[in-house]
Amino acid sequence: MKKILLALSAGTLLFASCSSGDQHVKKVFILSNGKFTVDESQKNITLDPSNTHTEQELTYNTGEKVIVSVKTPAGTKTFDVPEDGSYVLNLKVDTLTGGMVNYGAGGKPTSMSAEQYDHMVDSAQQLIEGKNASDEKKTYFIVPSSIKKISA
């Protein structure tokens, strides 16, 4: 199975969970192989598989659990978005691997030592092999046709 390295960085995927007071926000970032359409309720997705990379962010402003239904030629599958936060929905044929990247105030990576660089390369290699993924370290291994909460 092929794997794709996905850098979930502040510059690429900016997820802001705005839960102040009674406001509820659930964000789902969809990555797919093929074009897809989303209905008005944003709860039904129809995927037309191909080699085209497509992505879209959906936002739900509700405290209720959201169930997203994805219809493909192979059938229909549902994904639960139970609580506020940011999620990645992998509709690609490849596993997504990666982690949060901390950028400096100017949007550029802060300088790093050779040791830090070696550690980053070793960590990326382990992720590609399906090892070392953890919510605490904000590193992720998201298999095809799955959803993963990446931030509260």
The C-alpha atoms of residue 60 and residue 70 are separated, in whole angstroms, by 16
pLDDT at 131: 82
With a cut of 60, say whether residue 40 has pLDDT above it.
yes
- The residue-averaged pLDDT of 30-47 equals 96
If one counts the domains in the chain, the total is 1
- The residue-averaged pLDDT of 61-74 equals 96
Could you tell me the pLDDT band of residue 11, with boundaries at 50, 70 and 90? very low
SS3 117: helix
**Mean pLDDT of all residues in the chain?**
83
SS3 113: coil
Domain hosting 115: range is: 3-151
**Helix, strand, coil percentages for the chain (3-state, nearest 5):** 10, 50, 40
Residue 152 half-sphere exposure toward CB, CA atoms < 13 A: 3
Give which of 58, 76, 72, 131 is closest to 99, Cα–Cα: 131
pTM to 2 decimal places = 0.76
